[in-house]
Structure 1
Amino acid sequence: MYSSPLSIYVLWHPNFSDGVFFANKIYQNFNRDTDYVLSRNLNIPVFYRNKANKNNEILSINFQESDKNAIVLLIDDNMFNDAIWEEYVSNILPNLDDNNRIYPIVLSSVSNYFLEENNFSRFQSINLMKTNNLDKQWEILKSRLLHDITRMMLDLQSVNDVVNTNTTITPRPPVKLFLSHAKADGEELAISFKNYIENNLKANTFFDTNDIADGYDFSDEINRNIDKNTAMIVFLTDAYSTREWCQIEVSTAKRKKCPIVVVHHIQKQERRSFPYLGNVPTIKWNGSFNDIIDLAIIQVLVNLFAQKFLEKHIALYDLEKKYHCHILSNPPELFNYLDILKLRQENTDKPVLVLYPDPPLGNEELKILNEVNNDINFVTPSHSFQYL
C-alpha cells in the first residue's frame, strides 16, 4: 500500500466566505499553482473538508493514508456556533501526535472560546486578526505553515510544542541558511539579511565573516556546513561570479544537492555569468527579506518531500530489481552527470534510472542530456513505472 509522505487537510465551515480563499492559497502553494502548470511545484496532497453530506456528516480524515498529516483549522463564528463541527473537531484530537499536527487559525473574536471548549490549550494558535487585509493574512499564515511543516518533515518538534512546555529551550530551526556573497559588493546586503534573521526569526545562518574560526580550513568548513537541509542563498551581484570562493560554494552546494536560491542584485553587468548557477529559483531583490526566506524554506521542503516521495515510488514498483536508481530533487542538468556517470561506472550489471519530480523536462533539455549518454533513463512519477 502506498502512503504519501505528507498530506495537508484544510477545514472550514461552508458559510465562512473567506475559507475558499485560504484553502485555494494553501493548495496553490503546497500542491501546485494551476496558473503555471509546467513550473516546479511542491506536489504535497491537499484535501478540503468544509461540507456535510445529507446526513450532516463531514468526510472523515484517514490518518493512515499518509506518514504525516498537517491539519489547518480555520475557526470563525460559523464554526463556533455549529455543534456538528465541534463534534468533528473533538474527534480529531485523539489522533494528534508528532506525525499528525493541527494548526488552529484564529479568524474571529470567538475563536478562543472554540479552542477552550475543545481542549486546544496545548496548541499554539495562529492569529490572523491583526489585519483585515486577506493578502496580508495569507502571508502570515504561509510563513508559519512553511516553517512548521518543514519542521514536521525533519522530525523536529513543533515550535509551538516547545514554547508550550514553558521551558527556556530554544527550538532547533528547521533550516540553516548559508549566505554566499562577494565581499566586494555583496557584503552589506548579506550582513543586513543576517541581522534581520537574528533579530526577527528563529533560524541559523552560516556566514563566512564570523562563522569560520581563525585557523580552520575554509573549504572544509564549507563542506561541513552545507547539506540537503541547508538552503544556500546566493546574493548575485556584479562581482559574484568572478570570485573563486563563491564558485566553490555553489559547486559544493550542487554536489551535495543543497537547495539554492539566487537573489538577483546585478547593478550594471556581469562580465561572465557562472555557468553552474542555473537550474535554481531566482528572485529579484525588492527589499523584502521575508520573500527570500519563504522561497528558501520552500526549496528545502521541496527537497525533503521529493526525496521521500520518489523513494516510495521506487519501493512501490520494485524498480531496484531492474535498475540502479538515482534520485534528484531538482530537474536534472548536465552537472548531475558527475555523479550519474560515477554510479554507472561502479555498477555495470543493471542500467541506471534517474528519478526526479514532475513536471518532466521538455524534449530539448532531454535531448541534450541523452547526447551525453543515451543509456541513462530520466523519469518522473508521471511516467508509467510499471512498464519500465
Structure 2
Amino acid sequence: MNSEILAAANYQRRLVIYVVWHPEFVRGREMAERIYKYFAREPEQPNARGLGIPVFFRSEPVAGKLPAPVVMDEAQHTAVVVLADAKMVIAGNDWSGYVAPLARDALANPARHRVFPVAFTPNAYKLFPEANFIRLQEVAPDAAPGLLLNRLTNELGRLLTQRPTVGSVEREGAGGSSPPKMRLFLSHAKLDGENVAKVLRDYIQENLALDTFFDTIDIAAGFRFSDEIDQGIDTAAFALIHTDAYASRVWCQHEVIRAKRRGRPLVVIHAIEEGEGRSFPYLGNVPTIRWRPNDPARLQAIVGLVLREVLRTEYFNQHFEDLCLLFKVPAGVRALARAPELLTALALRTEADQVPFFVYPDPPLAKQELDLVLDLAPNLRLTTPTLLFANPVGSDNPQLLAKSLTRRRVGLSISESENLAQRGLGFPRLPDEKAAPSSPHLRDSMTEFARFLLAAGATLAYGGDLRQGGFTVVLFELLAAYRVLSGEDSPPLQSWLCWPIHLDLTEDQEANWAGLVEFHKIKAPEIPGLDPAVKLPPTTPENLLAWARSLTSMREQMNAETDARIFLGGQIGSFGVRGLGRYPGLAEEALLALRAHKPVYLIGAFGGCTDAIIAALRGQKPAAFTDAERLADEKVRAACEFYNQHLPPGGEPVNYAALTAELEQIGVSGLNNGLTAEENERLFTTMVLPEMIALVLRGLGRLEKSPKG
C-alpha cells in the first residue's frame, strides 16, 4: 500500500455532528434541517460560505425501528444531538437503548465526544434521567432554534479549543469533566459604549458558559493595565462595540489592530447613533451585526454570531491540518482564519520567502481586491483550500496555479437515490408526504465537486432538466460566481437536454444564460407519426418508447463529447417509474462510458444506482439489476416489452442479465480512472466528502501526467 493510501486510511475528520430524532417528529426534522444549514452550509445558496462541518442524520429506520448506528471514534470529535420528544419516549426501550450507550461513550471520553440531549416535551427526560438536557419544552417555538444553535455552537467551540496548542480558552483547573470556558473580550469606548457592553455581558453570564473580559473589572490591583488588556485580547474572541466615539479612542484602535494581527475571532456590533468624524479603516473584513436596544432576539443573534465566528476560526485551522493529510501540500503552508487584507498583508510580507502559500477560507477574493493586497505585498502567495488542493503547486503566482484539467470535459451523473435517508444523508418521509424533501447532502456534494473541478480548469457537463433549484440551475449559479471571483473566462457549462425536455426551454432563458451555458438539444427520435413539436406525456408504452430512445441518444452524444464521468447516487427506475429511460439513467451512462474506456469515478456513499453499479462490477449480481425487481411493476413490464418489440436496426433490447454480465466482465479494473484497486475501494465506501474529492482529483491528475492522458 503506497503512502497516499496510508494517509487516506489514517485520516479522521476533525468534527462530525449527528442529529437523532424520531422519524415522525415533525419539529425534529425541521430542527435537524436548521442544524444542517447552520453548521454545514445552505444547500439553496451554493455560493454562500458555510462552516462546512459534516452533519449526518439518524432518524430513518434501517432494520426494525431504529436508524443506523453512530460510530463515535470514526472522527476525532463526535457530537450527537438527540432531539427528544414524546414519540421517542413512547417507543420505549428501543430508542433509550439506542441513545443511552452513546451518552455513556461520550461521558467516558469527554475530551473527544459529546452527546447533547434536547428536551422538546416535559417527559423527554425519561430517556436517560441522569443527563443534563438542553431544555426547550418551555421556550417559544420561534426562539428555540436560535437558543439551541447558540448552545451547540458554544459547546462545540469549547470541545475544539481543548487542544493545548490553541490559546483561546481559559483553563479552569484540572480533572473536571466539562470543557473549559471560552473567553470573550468586549471592546468598547467608555464614553458611549459601556451600557451596551454591560447588557451583553449580563446576557452572556445568564445564558452561556462564557467568561467576558470587561476592562478594569477584570484587572486586579497591582497589575499593569496594558499587559492585562493585551493578554485578554490574545486569549479570547473579540466583540467590538462600534459606537460614535469608538474610532477616536487610542486604546480601542490598539485593541482592534492587536486582535487582527493575532488572528483572533472578531465581530463588529454596529451601534453608531449619529456618526463619526473619521471612521477607523481597520474595522472591515469581519462579520458585522446591527445593535438594537431592548430587543432580546437581537442579543441572542449577536452572541450567536460571535460564537459562530469562534467555531469557524477554530474549525478552519484544525480542519485544514487534516486536509493536508489527504492532499499533497508543501511543507510550511500556513492557514489564515480570515481572508487577507492590507493590515495582515503588511505583517505577512516579512515571511513571504519562508511560507510557500498562505491559505485563507473559500471563496477566493475577487480579483480587484486580491490585486490591491498584492500591490502592497507582491511576494505573498495567497490561495484558498479549493484552489490549492485542486491544482498542482509549482507556480510562484497563486493566480497562476497550474490548471490540471484545462483540456478536460468532465460529466456529472447525479440524482436522488431511494435510500439516502437510511444512510443518514437525507430526511425521512413523513406519513402524509408523497416524497421526502431533497437531500441537502447530495446537493452539497455535487456543489463541492463542481467547485473543485472549476478551480482545476475543467469544463463541466451535465444532462438534466431545468427545474427551478435543480442541479442544472445550481451549476449555472456556481459558474457565474466563479467567473466573477476568479476574473477568469471559464468555459461555459455543457448542458445536454433530451427531447422533449428542451421544448420547455424559452428564448428568455437562453438569453439569460447566454455565455454561461452551451445547450445541446437532442432531436426527437425517428418514429412514424411522432410530432417533434409536441411534448408527449410519459404515460403509455408508445410515448415511453419515444422518451427512452431520446434519453439513450442524449447519453450517447454526451458520452462521445466528455472525457470522464463522476457518479453519485441515482434512482433505480425506468419506463415511467422513478425513471424514463430503458435502464436506470446512471446505469446506462456508466455502461456507455465503460464501453468507450472513459475514466469513471463511482462515489458509493449515496447508495442508489451507483451502489448497484459497484456491486455489479464486483460480480455481486445486485438485485436492483434483475428482471424480478425492475419489471415487477405491470406498467414498466408492458413498456419494456413494447420497447423490445420495436427495436430499430442494431438496437439493443432491455436485458438486465446481459447488463449485469457485461459490468461484471468489465470489473473494477475497467474503470480506467487512474486509481489503484485499493483507492477505488476507498472511493466506493468513504463517507468523507474531502476524501472523495481528493481521490477523484488524484486519479484525473495521474491520467493527465500519463502518456495516454
TM over 0.5: yes
Q: How much does 1:192 deviate?
A: 3.4
Distance change in 2, residues 1:220/1:205 (3 Å): same
Question: For residue 292 of structure 1, what is the aligned residue in structure 2?
Answer: 302
Query: Does residue 270 of structure 2 align to residue 261 of structure 1?
Result: no
Cα deviation code 1:37-68 (max 9, x no counterpart):
44442211111111013665622223333100
Q: Secondary structure at the match of 1:383?
A: helix
Q: Which amino acid aligns with 1:92?
A: L
Distance change in 2, residues 1:199/1:72 (3 Å): closer
Query: Does residue 357 of structure 2 align to residue 366 of structure 1?
Result: no
Distance across 2 between alignment mates of 1:262 and 1:59: 42
Distance change in 2, residues 1:3/1:339 (3 Å): farther
Question: For residue 247 of structure 1, what is the aligned residue in structure 2?
Answer: 253
Question: For residue 154 of structure 2, what is the aligned residue in structure 1?
Answer: 147
Matched residue pairs, number? 363
The one of 233, 237, 241 aligned to 1:235: 241
Mind listing any 5+ residue stretches in structure 2 that lack a counterpart? 1-7, 164-175, 394-709
Question: For residue 343 of structure 2, what is the aligned residue in structure 1?
Answer: 335
Q: How much does 1:283 deviate?
A: 0.9
Cα deviation code 1:291-332 (max 9, x no counterpart):
2222211111111111101112234334234xx312111122
Q: How much does 1:74 deviate?
A: 1.1
Distance change in 2, residues 1:231/1:366 (3 Å): same
Q: Secondary structure at the match of 2:117?
A: strand
The one of 96, 119, 143 aligned to 1:106: 119
Distance change in 2, residues 1:277/1:55 (3 Å): same
Distance across 2 between alignment mates of 1:91 and 1:362: 49
Question: For residue 32 of structure 1, what is the aligned residue in structure 2?
Answer: 41
Distance change in 2, residues 1:170/1:64 (3 Å): closer
Question: For residue 309 of structure 1, what is the aligned residue in structure 2?
Answer: 319
- Whether the aligned pair in 2 keeps the contact of 1:77 and 1:111 (CA below 8 Å) is yes
The one of 31, 36, 46 aligned to 1:22: 31
Question: For residue 137 of structure 1, what is the aligned residue in structure 2?
Answer: 144
Distance change in 2, residues 1:66/1:76 (3 Å): same
Q: How much does 1:213 deviate?
A: 4.4
- Whether the aligned pair in 2 keeps the contact of 1:8 and 1:71 (CA below 8 Å) is yes
Distance across 2 between alignment mates of 1:362 and 1:277: 19
TM-score, normalised to structure 2, is 0.48
Question: For residue 506 of structure 2, what is the aligned residue in structure 1?
Answer: none
Cα deviation code 1:143-187 (max 9, x no counterpart):
22122212211239xxxxxxxxxxxx8967532121111122222
Q: Which amino acid aligns with 1:174?
A: K
- Whether the aligned pair in 2 keeps the contact of 1:326 and 1:340 (CA below 8 Å) is no
Question: For residue 275 of structure 1, what is the aligned residue in structure 2?
Answer: 281
Q: Which amino acid aligns with 2:61?
A: A
Cα deviation code 1:89-115 (max 9, x no counterpart):
345345322112111111224322222
- Whether the aligned pair in 1 keeps the contact of 2:337 and 2:360 (CA below 8 Å) is yes
Distance across 2 between alignment mates of 1:88 and 1:170: 23
Q: Secondary structure at the match of 1:6?
A: strand
Distance change in 2, residues 1:90/1:219 (3 Å): closer
**Greater shift in the superposed pair: 11-20 or 190-199:** 190-199
Q: Which amino acid aligns with 2:357?
A: L
The one of 179, 193, 197 aligned to 1:186: 193
Question: For residue 160 of structure 1, what is the aligned residue in structure 2?
Answer: none
Distance across 1 between alignment mates of 2:26 and 2:40: 22
The one of 386, 392, 397 aligned to 1:387: 392
Question: For residue 88 of structure 2, what is the aligned residue in structure 1?
Answer: 79
- Whether the aligned pair in 2 keeps the contact of 1:310 and 1:356 (CA below 8 Å) is no
Mind listing any 5+ residue stretches in structure 1 that lack a counterpart? 157-168
Distance across 2 between alignment mates of 1:333 and 1:320: 24
Q: Which has the higher contact order (CA 8 A, sep 6+)?
A: 1
Q: Secondary structure at the match of 1:293?
A: helix
**Residues 145-184 of structure 1 mapped to structure 2, 5 A cutoff:** 145-155=152-162, 174-184=181-191
Q: Secondary structure at the match of 2:375?
A: helix
Distance change in 2, residues 1:110/1:144 (3 Å): same
Distance across 1 between alignment mates of 2:299 and 2:288: 14
- Whether the aligned pair in 1 keeps the contact of 2:317 and 2:335 (CA below 8 Å) is yes
Rg bigger for which structure? 2
Q: Secondary structure at the match of 1:352?
A: coil
Question: For residue 208 of structure 1, what is the aligned residue in structure 2?
Answer: 215
- Whether the aligned pair in 2 keeps the contact of 1:154 and 1:174 (CA below 8 Å) is no
Question: For residue 380 of structure 2, what is the aligned residue in structure 1?
Answer: 376
Distance change in 2, residues 1:113/1:197 (3 Å): closer
Distance change in 2, residues 1:47/1:261 (3 Å): same
Distance across 2 between alignment mates of 1:199 and 1:56: 40
- Whether the aligned pair in 2 keeps the contact of 1:176 and 1:204 (CA below 8 Å) is yes
- Whether the aligned pair in 1 keeps the contact of 2:362 and 2:385 (CA below 8 Å) is yes
Distance across 2 between alignment mates of 1:199 and 1:243: 30
